[in-house]
Amino acid sequence: MKLSHRIGQVEPSPTLAITARAKELKAQGIDIISFGAGEPDFDTPQPVVDAAIRALKEGKTRYTAASGLPELRQAIAQRYKSRGREVAANQVIVTVGGKQALYNATQAIFNEGDRVLIPAPYWVSYPAQLRLAGAEPVILSTRSEEDFKLTAAALRAALEQAPTRGLILCSPSNPTGATYTADELRALATVLRDFPEVVVFYDAMYDELYYQGALAPDLVASAPELEGRVITFNGFSKTFAMTGWRLGYAIGPAEVIAALGTLQSQSTSNATSFAQYGALACFELDDSLLAERRQAFMKRRDLIVGLLREIPGVICPEPTGAFYAFADFSAYIGDAPGQFKSDVALSEFLLEEARVAVVPGSAFGHPGGLRLSYATGESLIQEGLRRIQQALNDRP
């Protein structure tokens, strides 16, 4: 069947081959240690599970308002107070995962040919979603020496180059774990002041998995003058270990959120009713639960970064949030004897020889790096890194 030219704009993920091979090996009974996961290994907190079950038993199984339960929108708005922001319930839309919030916003904001800046390494879906909207992703490389963060100077240079409609920032970042400080956000905002037509998507999906305090700095709280042109994205998947529940949200100017609501009402309608009722319980959880999980992630981060840095030639900036380490393995890539042709070839070698699954940086627009998720136990981190070290030592 002939497919639309729209779908032709989107390529299958370059990580798929490795993920598929890892699954194949596992199915053969081979013990693979996976650093590929984009989800916490913790369980959804029990009170949240109980609340969803209760909702099901009480028959809360019908359509809700397309933009989400009013009380959930209110609770999310309220939670943003702790980020130093005043948010009203009509500035919040509840979506089927943060991914849908980003998709809907991309469709609602960008036109054909709009230039949108994305610092690399980036989360894989940003360019794909922009292409589906006919917009033009413009990739801005960042450097490990600058913790993979976009500098104010680089932003200005890109904005001066051509008329630009958007900028997508992710902090803490998937795949690097880098987090913009409030000062860095203010420096970017100072540049944006000269380009009032630029809309900013601020993906804060990991902002409660932050290791220099409880909450990563928020863009609008840091630079309130941007409020009218920032859409903030967040969700339940990462903070509350609820990836399968498919619940996320966007926060923005009320008229933009209303437009996202219109799109949602004509596409998916509401996010699952009982998932939303369950999510209400997230706001009643004891702070200590999240604090404990954050502590556990931080310990794993220290372990994995320490072990990566022990591998000769590997550079790994310290991630300050999320649960990924992004290490520069470019010393192992090239045409010299003993080097691998690409980061994909290196990842394949690690899978076949070390029995360890990692994601090559080229999937995130940054060849030469490898992303390792540390949402896995400490003993597996230790064993996995031992295997990587040994396979590289013994390579032909």
**Which residue ranges make up the site for ligand PLP (CB under 6 A)?**
38, 97-99, 123, 170, 174, 203, 205, 235, 237, 243, 248
Q: Give the chain's count of helices (H) and strands (E).
A: 13, 12
| Closer CB to ligand PLP, 38 or 317, in the complex | 38
- Nearest one of 256, 269, 251 to 93, comparing CA atoms: 251
Residue with tokens 């809907």: 104
CA neighbor of 232 nearest in space, from 215, 244, 245: 215
Three-class secondary structure of residue 248 per DSSP: strand
CB of 36 to ligand PLP, least distance (A): 12
What is d(CA 306, CA 146) in angstroms, rounded to the nearest whole number?
19
Closer residue to ligand PLP, CB minimum distance, 320 or 330: 320
Minimum gap (Å) between residue 215 Cβ and ligand PLP: 16
DSSP 323: T
Helix %, strand %, coil % of the chain (to 5): 45, 15, 40
Closest CB to ligand PLP: residue number: 97
Per the listing, tokens 């992303």 go with 371
> Encoding tokens for residue 264?
């949602």
Question: Which one, 215 or 345, has the nearer CB to ligand PLP?
Answer: 215
Residue with tokens 């000062």: 183
User: Nearer to ligand PLP by C-beta: 105 or 346?
Assistant: 105
Instruction: Compute the least distance from the CB of residue 238 to ligand PLP, in Å.
Output: 7
- Specify whether the CB–CB gap between 211 and 298 falls below 8 A: yes
Q: Which is nearer to ligand PLP, 202 or 332 (CB)?
A: 202
CB of 133 to ligand PLP, least distance (A): 17
Identity of the residue, 96 or 354, whose beta carbon is nearer to ligand PLP in the bound complex: 96
Q: How far is the CB of 274 from ligand PLP (least distance, A)?
A: 17
Shortest gap between Cβ of 384 and ligand PLP (angstroms)?
Answer: 21
